Structures are given as structure tokens and as C-alpha cells.
Amino acid sequence: MKKIAVLITMIAIVFTQSFTVFAEATTAPTQQSIQELVRNVVEEMIEQENEDFRIAKLIDEINQSVVAVIGRNKTYRQQDYIYSKMPNNLQHGSGVIVSSNGQIITNNHVVKDMEEIYVVMYDGNAYRAQLLYSDDEIDLALIKINKDNLKPVELESVDNVKVGNTVIAIGTPLYFSYRNSASRGIISGLNRPVDQTYTYLQTDASINPGNSGGPLINMEGRLVGINTLGYMYYSGMNFAIPVENVSYFLEHYKQFGRIKRCYTGIQFEENWAAMLGIPTTQGLRVVTLRNDAVVSSSEIQEGDMLEAIDGIRTSSIAAYNEILKKHLPGDEVTLTFSREDKSFDIKVILKERP
């Protein structure tokens, strides 16, 4: 009845507008034109209703792959106001199923130093979880529960992740009773250097404490990121680990049981523009060479600038790490340096980070 009342109201508005136009115009609107306006109103209402239904169905389907993660930790965030009030020093976060045999990905900071890890499914069933692998630098962890025939989330192709894509963040914000809360937004930006390690997706979908480790999903129901952090005092400034890094983490674990990071043994520093997030073409300044560096002191000296790796510019530490992430130890790459007004290339074999 409510929808019918709305429709009648919309039609009344259309007729009112039509007669207003008629009063000001020299020719009256035809019956056909009025019917066309009414038809457009009805079609728009049906389209909106279908869109709402599609989103609700999508969330319901994805929720089967979303879990809440909870455990006891006596040392983590003892001074934090929110977590210090939790009974028995419990802390919680979110996660998403990535394999049918019970593997779940979450943030490393969600499970770090947890004495016991429990996973609560959408249906309310709880399972003890085992930590398979975690990496502090990329802030991801893989845990597993003893249950089969689960519904894993599908990972989106990196090429399909665009600014403006509508996304939904699902997780357990603030309190455990808020499990499987969903918020809608868009991808606001790509390759955001939140820290000097890796780059992130930026979204205005709401991400609060407890959302960490939960999925950021597009309208096709595929994973585009893992919700990780937000700025507490700024609205709509939230960040997720991009699906590219999630794939990197999972593929390395599957092949090697850990992340095999590449290493040059060269210590760099960013220029001030990169630190402030200002677009720059300036490279990374060489600070020092370690004893096991892939180049010698006769080739590279302090103050030289690393401009590119295999032709891809290195304007920040995050960009440098993103390039190395695409390689494995033992790969040969070309490092492009500059010294004063001269540029030169050095071919090196990447090592594995100690």
C-alpha cells in the first residue's frame, strides 16, 4: 500500500506540473505525453526497487562467507579504552572465507598475540581456529577452522577495480553483537600510500574498529579488498588492503608457506614531496649499502637516486615495494640510477630478504 500511495503521489505531481506548464505555454500537453511521464516515473520506481533487492540479495549471499573473529589477549591494547572494557581481555575483528576447507583471511593485527582464536559463522556456530601464517608488514593473517563445504569468496581481477566502483564493507564493528554489519560506498582512490610499506584502496564505506579483516565487496560479489583502517576523526576516509596484495599473500603461502620478499640491500629515503603525498617524479635517495647489497660501493654511492626498476618509476618507498612484490628472489631486474645529470643502468639479481 505504501508503494501504491507513493506512486499516486508521484502521478499527482506529474499532473500538477503538466497543468502548470499548460498555464504558461501556448499549447496543452497531450494525453500521450502525460502517459509517457507517468510511465517513466513507474519505471524508475521499479528500477530502484530491483536495485535494492539485488543489493540485499548480494549481502545475504556474501554473509555466508563472512565471519567474526574473537579471542583473548592479555597484552594487546591494554590501555585502549574500548578494548580494556571488554571482559577477559577479549578482542575481536572480522574475516572472510577463502577456501571451502575452512581457510579464512583476516588482518594480522586482529589475531596478533591472541592466545586462543575463535571464529563465529553467520549462522552463529563457533569454531576454534588455528593460525596458519601471518605477516605483520602486509598486515594479513591466514587462519583455519576444522569444517568443510564452506562458501569461499571469489577474488576480483585487479583490472576490474576502478575508482567509482560501488562497494560494500561487511564485518563486526565496535561490538560483537553487531556481527555482519554492512555499509555501502564507493572506491574513492587507488594506490594510497598510507604508510611506507604498501599502497591501499581508499573507500567511503564505513570501517570502524572491529571491521578489520572483513571483506570489501563489489556489486558482482567479488572481493576487492580487506578492510583495515580508518581515520577516527575524519568521515569517509577508510582504507582496505587491495585484492592484489591479498592474492600475493595467498599465492606465496600456497607455494612457499610464507612470503618470499625480494631484497636489494640498499637503504633509501623518500623526498619530502613523496612524504607529503605530492605527485613527484623524483626517485629514492640512496642512504647506505648493506654488506649483502646487490650492488657494490664502486657502482653506487650515497646520494645517488634510484629512478626506476625495469623502467617503472620509484617515486616512493611504497612504489618500490609494490614493484619488488611482482618478483621473486633470483629474478634479474634493471635498476636505473642517476647521479647529478647522468643516468645509468645496473642489472642485478634480486636476493631474498633475510
Active site residue ranges: 109, 139, 212
| Counts for the chain of helices (H) and strands (E), in that order | 7, 21
Residues 6+ apart with CB under 8 A from 163: 186, 187, 188, 189, 190
The rounded distance, in Å, linking the Cα atoms of 307 and 281 is 8
Distance separating alpha carbons of residues 104 and 111, to the nearest angstrom: 12
Q: Which of 13, 260, 212, 4 is nearest to 112 (CA)?
A: 212
**Are the C-beta atoms of residues 173 and 206 closer than 8 Å to each other?**
yes
CA–chain centroid gap for 151, Å, is 20
Contacts for 102 with CB less than 8 Å, ≥ 6 apart: 127, 144, 145, 146, 147, 148, 150
